[in-house]
């Protein structure tokens, strides 16, 4: 029986276009670091660009691995990167080196956390005066919280990094004597932050008397399309699956000027959200080219695609879709290059001063819904640590077979979510 103590990091990334209140987590005693959050970090544009570049490289490295499974796919690479960045703050030695290489953390520790802070603060500035998917305004917020075992000692330096760069104070719970009550408190907080889109994130039994720490991160986004689809124009259409069969789906239709380009074996279109600061980029491979295109997908291809986009009048038809994805990432991340973090040789001594901790599990869940008014999406990541020109006639673009899409922040070139639509009805 494993008697080593357990630390659970629940790092929740939410990209959510719907009504979401800024509700406070369930009450608990809070011991804040004596370091307030740095609301004006001195981060150069070059450093911010380097963070975004590394995050995007990891995003598509992960996509190529996850895409091996058939069906629809949706996840938040930004949520996963920021979640693991907070864990990385306590990593040392070969554990730190492997995590940096796998996650493409190209910056030194101090610079990395400051850059994440700067990026989160930049997101808070987005959408001034823009509309949300609902009757509320545009919102994009990042919130963090830490839940720790009462009387358990964490290194002040570790807590300072999270306080200064992620705005997270330590909230005390009694995992030892009240593990189930603690799980419910954290799950309720997650549910509140996601307007009940993600319930019971932490399954029963995951928190026990060995749990020592849970970190939560929520990303909230609410936006309408810049060019909404007329619901009266929506009608049935065919969508062709990869196996050659077809299904009948609800196709949304509009003719508008969109950023568009044509590559050798694919086409791309960018759908801006209201305010123009964020957008959905859709990559639409040619018929019979999806598999080869998907295998070649990386951050360079996406960057080149974005640079080639030009405003073009497009008669666009695309399906409404809604689906969920759920998967564990331990095996995936280990195969991608950071296996030491998941075993007894892990070194997270930057958290407590000893080498008792290792990552026991990484779970990610996500939800997306796209309709005429905009997009609704939510994702949650759990990192469980255990001790040890002239106008032309419109081009037609009908997304009637599988395509890849991502939701991105244009100014920072940050990829927040990536998805694949294999079957809009699933």
pLDDT at 108 over 90: yes
Contacts 24+ apart (CB under 8 A), 32-36: 32/163, 32/169, 32/170, 33/156, 33/159, 33/160, 33/162, 33/163, 33/164, 33/169, 33/170, 34/160, 35/160, 35/163, 35/164, 36/163, 36/164
The predicted structure's pLDDT at residue 388 = 62
Beta strand 278-285 with 403-409 is antiparallel
Counted residue by residue, the chain has a size of 426
pLDDT band, very low/low/confident/very high, at 20 (cuts 50, 70, 90): very low
Domain 6-224+323-387 has CATH 3.30.497.10: yes
With a CB cutoff of 8 Å and minimum separation 6, the contacts of 163 are 32, 33, 35, 36, 37, 169
Same-fold call for 6-224+323-387 versus 231-319+391-421? no
DSSP 224: B
Query: What is the rounded distance in angstroms from the CA atom of residue 338 to the CA atom of residue 2?
Result: 22
**The two three-digit tokens of residue 264, written as one number:** 């050798």
Q: Where are the domains of the chain?
A: 6-224+323-387, 231-319+391-421
Q: Does the predicted TM-score (pTM) go above 0.75? A: yes
- In this structure, CATH architecture of domain 231-319+391-421: Roll (2.30)
Distance of CA 189 to the CA centre of its chain: 18
> Which helix (H) or strand (E) covers residue 63, if one does?
helix 45-66
Sign (positive or negative) of CA dihedral 121, 19, 413, 335: positive
Specify the residue for token string 């554990």: 95
pLDDT higher than threshold 90 for residue 119: yes
Q: What is the layout of strands, in order, in the sheet containing 6-11?
A: 6-11, 375-387, 357-370, 321-328
What is the rounded distance in angstroms from the CA atom of residue 409 to the CA atom of residue 415? 7
- Cα distance from N-terminal residue to C-terminal residue, the chain: 41
Chain segment 133-163, per-residue pLDDT in tens: 887 888 787 777 778 888 878 899 999 998 9
Of 9, 52, 338, the residue nearest 158 (C-alpha): 9
Cα–Cα distance measured from residue 330 to residue 397, given in angstroms and rounded to the nearest whole number? 39
Q: Using one digit for the tens of pLDDT, what is the confidence trace for 322-369?
A: 888 888 888 999 999 999 998 889 998 999 899 987 887 777 778 877
Strands 246-262 and 139-149: unpaired
Q: In what order do the strands lie in the sheet with 139-149?
A: 29-31, 170-173, 139-149, 213-222
């Amino acid at each position: 029986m494993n008697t080593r103590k357990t630390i659970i990091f629940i790092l929740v990334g939410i990209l959510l276009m719907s009504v979401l209140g800024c509700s406070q987590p369930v009450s608990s005693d809070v011991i804040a670091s004596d370091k307030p959050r740095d609301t004006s970090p001195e981060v150069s544009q070059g450093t911010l660009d380097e963070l975004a570049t590394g995050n995007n490289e990891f995003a598509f490295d992960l996509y190529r691995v996850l895409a091996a499974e058939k069906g629809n796919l949706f996840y938040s690479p930004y949520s996963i990167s920021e979640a693991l960045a907070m864990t990385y703050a306590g990593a040392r030695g070969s554990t730190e080196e492997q995590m940096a290489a796998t996650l493409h953390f190209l910056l030194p520790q101090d610079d990395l956390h400051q850059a994440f802070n700067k990026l989160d603060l930049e997101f808070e500035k987005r959408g001034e005066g823009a509309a949300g998917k609902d009757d509320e305004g545009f919102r994009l917020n990042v919130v963090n919280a830490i839940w720790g075992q009462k009387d358990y000692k964490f290194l002040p330096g570790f807590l300072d990094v999270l306080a200064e760069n992620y705005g997270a104070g330590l909230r005390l719970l009694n995992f030892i004597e009240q593990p189930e009550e603690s799980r419910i408190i954290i799950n309720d907080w997650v549910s509140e932050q996601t307007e009940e889109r993600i319930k019971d994130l932490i399954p029963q039994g995951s928190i026990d008397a060995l749990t020592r720490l849970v970190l939560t991160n929520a990303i909230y986004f609410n936006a309408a399309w810049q060019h909404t689809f007329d619901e009266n124009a929506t009608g049935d259409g065919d969508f062709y699956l990869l196996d050659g069969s077809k299904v009948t789906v609800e196709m949304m239709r509009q003719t508008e000027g969109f950023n568009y380009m044509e590559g050798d074996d694919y086409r791309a279109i960018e759908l801006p959200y209201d305010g123009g600061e964020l957008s959905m980029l859709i990559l639409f491979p040619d018929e019979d080219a999806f598999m080869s295109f998907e295998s070649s997908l990386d951050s360079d291809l996406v960057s080149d695609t974005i640079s080639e986009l030009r405003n073009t009048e497009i008669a666009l038809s695309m399906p409404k879709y809604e689906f969920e994805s759920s998967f564990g990432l331990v095996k995936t991340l280990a195969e991608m290059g950071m296996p030491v973090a998941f075993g007894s040789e892990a070194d997270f001594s930057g958290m407590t001063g000893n080498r008792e901790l290792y990552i026991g599990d990484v779970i990610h869940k996500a939800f997306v819904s796209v309709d005429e008014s905009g997009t609704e999406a939510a994702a949650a990541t759990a990192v469980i640590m255990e001790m040890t020109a002239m106008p032309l006639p419109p081009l037609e673009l009908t997304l009637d077979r599988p395509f890849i899409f991502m939701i991105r922040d244009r100014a920072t070139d940050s990829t927040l979510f990536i998805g694949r639509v294999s079957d809009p009805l699933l």
